[in-house]
């Protein structure tokens, strides 16, 4: 067991290492650097730019800079933000927290809805209810996420029921937590609508596959009632691919979240990542990517733990 | 029976849309870059059968519109002159597929009136014509890129799943790295390796390659999961017991299963891929003005004033819905056929 | 008379309160020399939230180059002599008066006595000397440094008394007093140690505690919510009073709310989360305009600002032969008739109308009609004339193929690309309109959009482009800040960087610009600058397109809103803004 997870952990580190290396190479190839914008500013002299280049270490060769960054990481830091002139971790942690504030509830809600609904849809396949399900999910899948977010904003603006962006009011009237929850409704709702159809489809597919397998048919033949059959036999049998999907769905939600945050001005990692990519604020980009790699990896790890508990066959693997 | 019904509907719909896109020059009443600078954000032109005096006409016609009201984008119909809808009239020149050229259009009205079925954009260009031309890029590039991503995913995922061990590890780590790195960032660098001005066909191939490359990670993981699961299933184990080679197993048993998953994923990813073009346009990797694509048309539509006052600018997004639905239906049917073959 | 007595009374009272609350700084403080403003006296209280497209990056004036940071810092800090954003004239700020010697080489400033930083510490000449020492320090590399170099030599600063400072320039400098604008005075008592330890650029980040900061501006830092908002509160020690003797500012709180794009700002404004938008986009203006009365807000269109959009040809000398394609096209670009023809073919009115909803002004040079002091009114923006453009092209040896394609004298098709920044929708639209205009001349033109830094990199570093459109803003209504763009040696002379053999007219521009810098008489300077504008209009090294109007939105009951064409259009007089009715509703 420990060996198995040790290996997993090692893989995670390997992936993070690969990502950081690739990011460094890309940064080298991307046109312009952090100082490009300042070059256009007539107030900043070439000498000052030269000094800044040296200060930020932009004049050093790539391997040296990478080694420098690794030494930062070894100390539990993410490097330094050129734009904000402060440690990148100070920028990243509060925003990562805000992003999780959206994605974790969205993840739980969409799975809580998707599993029962998906199982029912699988059982009702071929009936009008099943067709309604698949039609509904297909439609939701086809609507772009940006459009969903924009529509949510329009509804909020027209009805005045929900805030049209941001995370907190200037002076919350119903207590801080209630205010936060009120601000979370729309972004979380959009995330759920965006991720639900994908998860739902996979749940339905996985369950309907087990439904067609012989032992479920056998159970059916023995006269088991439908609901217990579905939830006690078909669902556990389908658990294996679903648990793997859980890990993937975290990554998926995270990527949709980055978009929703930007549209709804939620102070999460999305706006920061976008801004720092455009500003070539290398270490912030790197840190944000590391974090958004870390979360799905953690999700995968959790999924693996679950799978380990669930599926004895995995334990056989070296 | 019902399935075949859905299949034929979806297929016919896609064939029609794609044909209209290919023949955009002829079907569209205007060229994609024809501007009418006096009609920015012109609302969809109304087709009339009854004129201002209440008289009925047997042939549909339009009225010319003039700017009216305070803002630049309010229009009033001018009842003075009727412009009947005409077929096969002469207009902007075009070429279809670079093979033959012409100047006859399926329908339209005589100048100076304009017939903007789906309204005009901010530069007074016909949204309907631009959508047809844009479909050339978005539909074909989107579908090809999705196909490319599926093939890539299928290849890597099934190799990883079948061989397992170190090969699996390697494939999956590479996939995870690709999924983790923000594509926006990588493409920034990719653009630097291309010349400033890229010809349209090269740009098309490049869009397919870029969008396909970005999207293969997820199908790869999915396919691997399916293959891993299937390896334990009885018929595979049985075949293995009979001494079937890995390649045989892959071809005969695992591939169809994996195909099913990948096809679903492909259908699902088409709208995302088409919209992904918005992002790569921003980086200078997509079609640039004045050449339209649904992606760069939508990029303009994400504005508050467009949402409230010029709703027709959102039509490319709505057009994505039936197209995606059709692709999904195709994928569903193909998938279940494959499944039944196992 | 009564108001005068009242104001004296209030200031004495304020002084007493100040002394009582901060015994540590008490003692023999001189009488506070406050500045009395002429704006409409208001009522104190309330808060104002304004949207910013990006988060301010820093609160440290030594690092700040982005607009949001400057917006905040200019509220928390103050300068010695300030350029009034409404009149564009220099006026007293922390210096209550100044005298220049007739040779224009020295400037002696009398500082305001008895005033205090926002933490209660007194201000005097030592703070000024310290600030300029920091700004001029080469190791600090502050963005203000280049402003304080006259003829490449730093300004000399001497303390003559506790409230008197003398500045000496190495050469006569025409607008000595304008130099001090946006060079905020730093608190020596807080920063001297950091400066000596070489850490001064690492202080006052967004995570700094409010207690570690102080300034002389109307507001001081209250709190920062990362990625969300920066909140400032009223500085109780601010050195301005209104005509009723009330100490400014009126607002209790001023917050900067991060709203990532201008469209979202409109939505947040409609919902009441923010009460002002500055600057407002032309699109935003168009969508807000219909409901002004119903929703109780007011839109302001202040006409052309100091920003100019322009198109320029790549005239960089390719000495190493790296870019043969560009070099081939430069044969066309270097012909003034070709450039003039392009200029005459462009429909600037259409750009203003379609890309900016008619809220932009066509230009002939970089000096916009908004820059009323310096604009040469004898020049008019060129109107579109295709026949004239054809005539010019014909003169330059170009001809047309039967299918209408334009070819040069060697028979090569005229074909080039226009580089634009994809992040700027108006710029992309302008480029598309230009592309369409030029195709009417038979030119084969393509629009290429790249992300901002990639665009800048091509323009400034690799020079790998044909033609580009760009926007720039003149930082001040004065010729000096555009030296970098117009002179051949300038660091932002974008169309031909580091020119080795400038053409005759460019040498003339260089000479005129150098001369105006050391001319003291305004009318003579204006004449020199007019000549520069005429050369630019004639030689068209760059084609100036339009200047977007300054647009601002604010709630109806926010008083003293007088949008300016510089700096933050609405916040420049943040100390005078107040709510007519309580609670800002």
User: If we measure between CA atoms, which residue out of C169, C480, C500 comes closest to residue C317?
Assistant: C500
Q: Quick check: A248 and B177 CB within 8 A?
A: no
Residue C24 has pLDDT above 50, yes or no: no
Give the model's pLDDT for residue C14: 44
| Mean of pLDDT values over C375-384 | 87
Contacts of C350 in chain B (CB under 8 A): 37
The pLDDT-based confidence of B81 (bands split at 50, 70, 90) is confident
* Better pLDDT: C288 or A175: C288
Residue C101 has pLDDT above 60, yes or no: yes
Q: Quick check: A26 and B181 CB within 8 A?
A: yes
Q: Quick check: C205 and A41 CB within 8 A?
A: no
**Side-chain half-sphere of C290: how many Cα atoms within 13 Å?**
12
| Mean of pLDDT values over C81-103 | 88
Contacts of B325 in chain A (CB under 8 A): 138-139, 142
Contacts of A47 in chain C (CB under 8 A): 138, 141
Give the chain A residue whose CA is nearest to the CA of C65: A38
Give the model's pLDDT for residue A312: 58
Give the model's pLDDT for residue B302: 65
Give residue-wise pLDDT tens across range A87-143: 888 888 899 999 999 999 999 999 998 888 888 887 777 778 777 877 788 788 777
The pLDDT-based confidence of B266 (bands split at 50, 70, 90) is confident
| Mean of pLDDT values over A63-78 | 84
The residues with which C543 forms a beta bridge, in sequence order, are: C311
Q: Quick check: A147 and B180 CB within 8 A?
A: no
| Mean of pLDDT values over C343-360 | 91
Q: Quick check: B271 and A292 CB within 8 A?
A: no
Q: Which of B185, B229, B323 sits opposite A285 (nearest CB)?
A: B185
Q: Which of B71, B288, B300 sits opposite C286 (nearest CB)?
A: B71
Q: What letter would DSSP give residue C40?
A: P
Length, in residues, of chain A = 318
Q: Quick check: B290 and C432 CB within 8 A?
A: yes
Question: Which region among A218-227, A245-254, C23-32, C83-92 has the lowest average model confidence (pLDDT)?
Answer: C23-32
Q: Quick check: C436 and B33 CB within 8 A?
A: yes
Q: Quick check: A248 and B221 CB within 8 A?
A: yes
Q: Does B226 touch chain A (CB under 8 A)?
A: yes
Average pLDDT of the residues of chain A: 80
A-to-C residue pairs, Cβ atoms closer than 8 angstroms: 153
The pLDDT-based confidence of C18 (bands split at 50, 70, 90) is very low
Give the model's pLDDT for residue A311: 62
Query: From residue C390, how far is each of A21, A24, C353 by CA, in Å?
Result: 55, 51, 25
B-to-C residue pairs, Cβ atoms closer than 8 angstroms: 94
Give the model's pLDDT for residue C10: 44
* Better pLDDT: A262 or C12: A262
Burial A100-135 (b: 16+ CB within 10 A, else e): bbbbebbbebbbeebbebbbbbbbbbeeeebeebbe
**How many CB atoms sit inside 10 A of residue C9's CB?**
11
> A208 to chain C, minimum CA–CA distance in Å?
44
Interface test with A, best of C45, C152, C154, C260 (most A CBs within 10 A): C260
Q: Is the peptide bond before A21 cis (omega within 30 degrees of 0)?
A: no
Q: H/E element holding A119?
A: helix A88-123
Q: Does A228 touch chain C (CB under 8 A)?
A: no
Q: Quick check: A36 and C273 CB within 8 A?
A: no
Instruction: Measure the CA–CA gap between A98 and A291, rounded to whole angstroms.
Output: 13
Q: Which of C263, C289, C450 sits opposite B304 (nearest CB)?
A: C263
| Mean of pLDDT values over C387-416 | 90
Give the model's pLDDT for residue A224: 58
Give the chain C residue whose CA is nearest to the CA of A154: C267
Give the model's pLDDT for residue C543: 92
Q: Quick check: A141 and B328 CB within 8 A?
A: yes
Give the chain B residue whose CA is nearest to the CA of A150: B302
Contact C76, C232 (CB under 8 A): yes
Q: Quick check: B180 and A293 CB within 8 A?
A: yes
Q: What letter would DSSP give residue C218?
A: S
**How many CB atoms sit inside 10 A of residue C105's CB?**
16
Give the model's pLDDT for residue C12: 45
Residue C220 has pLDDT above 90, yes or no: yes
Instruction: Measure the CA–CA gap between B44 and B312, rounded to whole angstroms.
Output: 8
Residue C256 has pLDDT above 90, yes or no: yes
Give residue-wise pLDDT tens across range B192-241: 777 787 777 888 888 888 888 888 888 888 788 777 777 766 666 677 67
Percent of chain C scored above 90 by pLDDT?
40
Contacts of B309 in chain C (CB under 8 A): 287
Most confident listed range (C335-344, C494-503, C517-526)? C335-344
The pLDDT-based confidence of A318 (bands split at 50, 70, 90) is very low
Q: Quick check: A36 and C202 CB within 8 A?
A: no
* Better pLDDT: A9 or C126: C126
Q: Quick check: C287 and B300 CB within 8 A?
A: no
How far does Cα C128 stand from its chain's mean position? Answer: 24
**How many CB atoms sit inside 10 A of residue A2's CB?**
6
User: If we measure between CA atoms, which residue out of B67, B62, B61, B63 comes closest to residue B78?
Assistant: B63
The pLDDT-based confidence of C545 (bands split at 50, 70, 90) is very high
Contacts of A144 in chain B (CB under 8 A): 271-272, 275, 298, 317, 320
Could you tell me the pTM of the whole model? 0.85
Interface of B with A in 246-305 (CB under 8 A): 261, 264, 268, 271-272, 275, 298, 302
Interface test with C, best of B196, B283, B300, B302 (most C CBs within 10 A): B196
The residues with which C99 forms a beta bridge, in sequence order, are: C108
| Mean of pLDDT values over C7-20 | 43
Contact C277, C266 (CB under 8 A): yes
Give residue-wise pLDDT tens across range B48-77: 888 777 788 888 888 888 777 666 677 877
Contacts of C212 in chain A (CB under 8 A): none
Instruction: Mention every residue, 6+ apart, whose C-beta is less than 8 A from residue C219.
Output: C75, C76, C232, C233, C234, C235, C249, C251, C254, C574
Residues of A with CB under 8 A from a CB of B: 11, 14-15, 18-19, 22-23, 26-27, 29-31, 134, 138-139, 141-144, 146-147, 150, 154, 198, 201, 205, 240-241, 244-245, 248, 251-252, 273-274, 277, 285, 289, 292-293, 296-297, 313
Q: H/E element holding C456?
A: helix C452-456
Question: Which region among B126-130, C119-123, C218-222, C257-261 has the lowest average model confidence (pLDDT)?
Answer: C257-261
Instruction: Measure the CA–CA gap between A91 and A75, rounded to whole angstroms.
Output: 17
Query: From residue A271, how far is each of A92, B301, C21, C50, C230 by CA, in Å?
Result: 11, 20, 43, 19, 16
Residue C167 has pLDDT above 70, yes or no: yes
Average pLDDT of the residues of chain C: 86
Residue C128 has pLDDT above 90, yes or no: yes
| Mean of pLDDT values over A3-21 | 83
B30: helix, strand or coil? coil
Residue A269 has pLDDT above 60, yes or no: yes
The residues with which B77 forms a beta bridge, in sequence order, are: B65
How far does Cα B129 stand from its chain's mean position? Answer: 15
**How many CB atoms sit inside 10 A of residue C189's CB?**
17
| Mean of pLDDT values over C572-580 | 91
Percent of chain C scored above 70 by pLDDT?
94
Most confident listed range (A71-75, A206-210, C120-124)? C120-124
Residue C6 has pLDDT above 60, yes or no: no
Helices B315-341, A128-142: crossing angle, 10 deg rounding: 130
Give the model's pLDDT for residue C29: 59
Question: Which region among A61-70, B226-235, B278-287, C331-340 has the lowest average model confidence (pLDDT)?
Answer: B226-235
Question: Which region among A71-75, B183-187, C121-125, C355-359 has the lowest average model confidence (pLDDT)?
Answer: B183-187
Burial A210-229 (b: 16+ CB within 10 A, else e): bbeeeebeeeeeeeeeeeeb
The pLDDT-based confidence of B340 (bands split at 50, 70, 90) is low
Q: What letter would DSSP give residue C280?
A: P
Q: H/E element holding C301?
A: strand C297-304
Residue C3 has pLDDT above 50, yes or no: no
Contacts of B191 in chain C (CB under 8 A): 450, 454
Instruction: Measure the CA–CA gap between B165 and B187, rounded to whole angstroms.
Output: 32
Give residue-wise pLDDT tens across range B82-104: 788 888 888 777 777 777 787 88
Instruction: Mention every residue, 6+ apart, whose C-beta is less than 8 A from residue B317.
Output: A143, A144, A147, B294, B298, B301
| Mean of pLDDT values over C175-202 | 88
The radius of gyration of chain A from alpha carbons, rounded to an integer in Å, stands at: 24
| Mean of pLDDT values over B162-169 | 81
Give the model's pLDDT for residue A220: 63
Q: Does A28 touch chain C (CB under 8 A)?
A: no
């Amino acid at each position: 067991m420990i060996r198995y997870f040790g290996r997993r952990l090692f893989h995670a580190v390997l992936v993070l290492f690969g990502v950081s290396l690739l990011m460094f190479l890309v940064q080298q190839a991307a046109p312009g650097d952090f100082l490009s914008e300042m070059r256009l500013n007539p107030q900043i002299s070439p000498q000052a730019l030269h000094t800044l280049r040296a200060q930020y270490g932009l004049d050093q060769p790539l391997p040296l800079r990478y080694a420098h960054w690794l030494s930062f990481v070894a100390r539990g830091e993410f490097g330094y933000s050129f734009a904000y002139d402060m440690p990148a971790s100070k920028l990243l942690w509060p925003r990562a927290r805000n992003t999780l504030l959206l994605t974790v509830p969205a993840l739980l809600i969409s799975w809580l809805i998707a599993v029962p609904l998906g199982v029912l849809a699988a059982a009702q396949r071929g009936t009008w209810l099943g067709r309604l399900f698949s039609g509904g999910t297909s439609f939701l899948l086809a609507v772009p996420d940006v459009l969903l977010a924009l529509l949510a904003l329009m509804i909020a603006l027209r009805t005045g029921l929900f805030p049209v962006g941001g995370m907190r009011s200037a002076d919350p009237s119903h207590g801080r937590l209630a205010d936060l929850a009120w601000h979370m409704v729309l972004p979380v709702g959009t995330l759920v609508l965006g991720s639900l159809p994908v998860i739902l489809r996979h749940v339905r597919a996985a369950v309907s596959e087990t439904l067609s397998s012989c032992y479920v048919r056998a159970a059916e033949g023995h006269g088991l009632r439908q609901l217990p059959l579905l939830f006690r036999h078909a669902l556990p049998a389908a658990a294996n691919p679903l648990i793997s999907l859980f890990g993937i769905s975290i990554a998926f939600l995270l990527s949709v979240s980055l978009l929703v945050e930007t549209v709804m001005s939620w102070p999460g990692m999305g706006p920061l990542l976008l801004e720092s990519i455009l500003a070539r604020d290398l270490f912030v980009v790197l840190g944000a990517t590391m974090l958004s790699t870390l979360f799905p990896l953690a999700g995968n790890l959790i999924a693996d733990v679950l799978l380990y508990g669930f599926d004895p066959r995995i334990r056989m693997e070296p | 029976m019902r399935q075949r019904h859905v299949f034929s509907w979806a297929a016919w719909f896609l064939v029609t849309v794609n044909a209209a896109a290919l023949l955009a020059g002829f079907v569209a009443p205007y060229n994609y870059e024809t501007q009418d600078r006096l009609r920015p954000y012109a609302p969809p032109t109304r087709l009339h059968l009854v004129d201002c005096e209440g008289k009925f006409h047997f042939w549909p016609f339009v009225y010319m519109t003039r700017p009216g009201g305070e803002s630049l984008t309010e229009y009033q119909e001018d009842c003075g002159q009727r412009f009947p809808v005409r077929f096969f009239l002469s207009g902007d020149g075009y070429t279809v597929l670079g093979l033959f050229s012409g100047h006859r259009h399926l329908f339209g009205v005589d100048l100076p009136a304009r017939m903007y079925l789906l309204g005009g954009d901010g530069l007074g260009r016909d949204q309907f014509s631009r959508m047809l031309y844009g479909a050339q890029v978005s539909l074909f590039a989107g579908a090809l890129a999705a196909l490319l991503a599926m093939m890539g995913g299928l290849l890597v995922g099934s190799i990883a799943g079948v061989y397992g061990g170190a090969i699996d590890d390697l494939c999956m780590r590479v996939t995870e790295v690709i999924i983790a790195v923000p594509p926006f960032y990588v493409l920034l660098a990719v653009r630097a390796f291309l010349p400033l001005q890229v010809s349209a066909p090269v740009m098309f191939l490049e869009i397919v390659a870029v969008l396909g490359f970005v999207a293969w990670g997820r199908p790869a993981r999915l396919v691997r999961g399916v293959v891993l699961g299937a390896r334990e299933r009885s018929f595979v184990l049985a075949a293995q017991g009979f001494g079937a080679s890995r390649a045989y197993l892959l071809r005969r048993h695992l591939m169809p299963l994996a195909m099913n998953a990948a096809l679903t994923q492909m259908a699902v990813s088409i709208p995302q891929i088409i919209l992904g073009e918005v992002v790569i346009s921003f980086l200078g990797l997509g079609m640039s003005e004045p050449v339209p694509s649904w992606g760069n048309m939508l990029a303009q539509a994400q504005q508050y004033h467009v949402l409230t006052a010029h709703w027709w600018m959102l039509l490319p997004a709505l057009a994505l819905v039936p197209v995606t639905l059709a692709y999904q239906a195709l994928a569903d049917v193909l998938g279940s056929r494959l499944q039944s073959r196992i | 008379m009564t108001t005068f007595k009242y104001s004296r009374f209030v200031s004495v009272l304020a002084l007493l309160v100040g002394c009582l609350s901060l015994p540590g700084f008490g003692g023999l403080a001189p009488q506070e020399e406050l500045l009395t403003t002429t704006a409409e006296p208001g009522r104190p209280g309330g808060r104002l939230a304004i949207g910013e497209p990006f988060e301010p990056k820093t609160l440290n004036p030594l690092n700040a180059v982005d607009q949001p940071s400057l917006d905040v810092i200019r509220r928390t800090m103050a300068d010695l002599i300030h350029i009034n954003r409404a009149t564009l004239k220099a006026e007293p700020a922390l210096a209550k008066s100044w005298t220049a010697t007739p040779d224009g080489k020295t400037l002696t400033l009398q500082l305001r006595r008895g005033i205090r930083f926002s933490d209660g510490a007194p201000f005097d000449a030592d703070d000024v000397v310290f600030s300029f020492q920091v700004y001029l320090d080469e190791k600090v590399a502050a963005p203000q440094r280049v402003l304080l170099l006259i003829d490449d030599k730093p300004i000399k600063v001497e303390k003559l008394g506790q409230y008197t400072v003398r500045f000496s320039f190495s050469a006569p400098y025409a607008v000595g007093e304008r130099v001090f604008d946006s060079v905020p005075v730093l608190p020596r008592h807080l920063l001297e140690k950091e400066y000596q330890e070489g850490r001064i650029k690492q202080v006052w980040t967004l995570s700094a505690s409010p207690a570690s900061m102080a300034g002389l501006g109307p507001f001081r830092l209250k709190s920062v919510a990362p990625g969300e908002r920066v909140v400032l509160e009223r500085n109780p020690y601010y050195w301005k009073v209104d005509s009723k003797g009330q100490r400014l500012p009126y607002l209790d709180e001023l917050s900067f709310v991060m709203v990532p794009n201008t469209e979202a700002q409109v939505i947040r404004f409609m919902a009441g989360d923010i009460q002002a938008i500055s600057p407002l986009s032309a699109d935003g203006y168009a969508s807000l305009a219909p409901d002004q009365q119903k929703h109780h807000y007011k839109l302001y269109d202040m006409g052309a600002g100091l920003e100019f959009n322009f198109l320029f040809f790549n005239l960089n000398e390719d000495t190493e032969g790296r870019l043969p394609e560009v070099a081939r096209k430069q044969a066309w670009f270097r012909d003034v008739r070709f450039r003039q023809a392009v200029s005459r073919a462009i429909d600037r009115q259409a750009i203003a109308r379609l890309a900016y909803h008619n809220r932009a002004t066509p230009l002939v040079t970089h000096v916009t009609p908004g820059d009323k002091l310096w604009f040469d009114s004898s020049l008019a923006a060129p109107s579109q004339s295709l026949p004239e453009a054809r005539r010019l092209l014909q003169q330059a040896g170009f001809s047309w193929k039967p299918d209408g394609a334009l070819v040069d004298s060697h028979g090569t098709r005229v074909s080039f690309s226009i580089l634009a920044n994809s992040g700027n929708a108006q710029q992309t639209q302008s480029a598309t309109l230009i592309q369409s205009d030029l195709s009417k001349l038979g030119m084969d033109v393509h629009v290429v959009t790249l992300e901002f830094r990639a665009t800048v990199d091509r323009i400034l570093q690799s020079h790998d482009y044909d033609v580009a459109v760009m926007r720039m803003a003149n930082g001040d209504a004065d010729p000096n800040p555009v030296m970098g763009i117009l002179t051949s040696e300038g660091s932002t002379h974008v169309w031909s960087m580091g020119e080795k053999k400038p053409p005759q007219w460019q040498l003339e521009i260089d000479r005129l610009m150098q001369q105006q810098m050391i001319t003291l008489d305004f009318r003579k300077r204006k004449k020199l600058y007019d000549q520069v504008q005429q050369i630019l209009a004639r030689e068209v090294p760059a084609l100036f397109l339009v200047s977007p109007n300054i647009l601002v939105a604010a709630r109806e009951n926010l008083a003293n809103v007088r949008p300016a064409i510089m700096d933050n259009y609405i916040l420049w007089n943040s100390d005078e803004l107040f709510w007519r009715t309580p609670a800002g509703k």
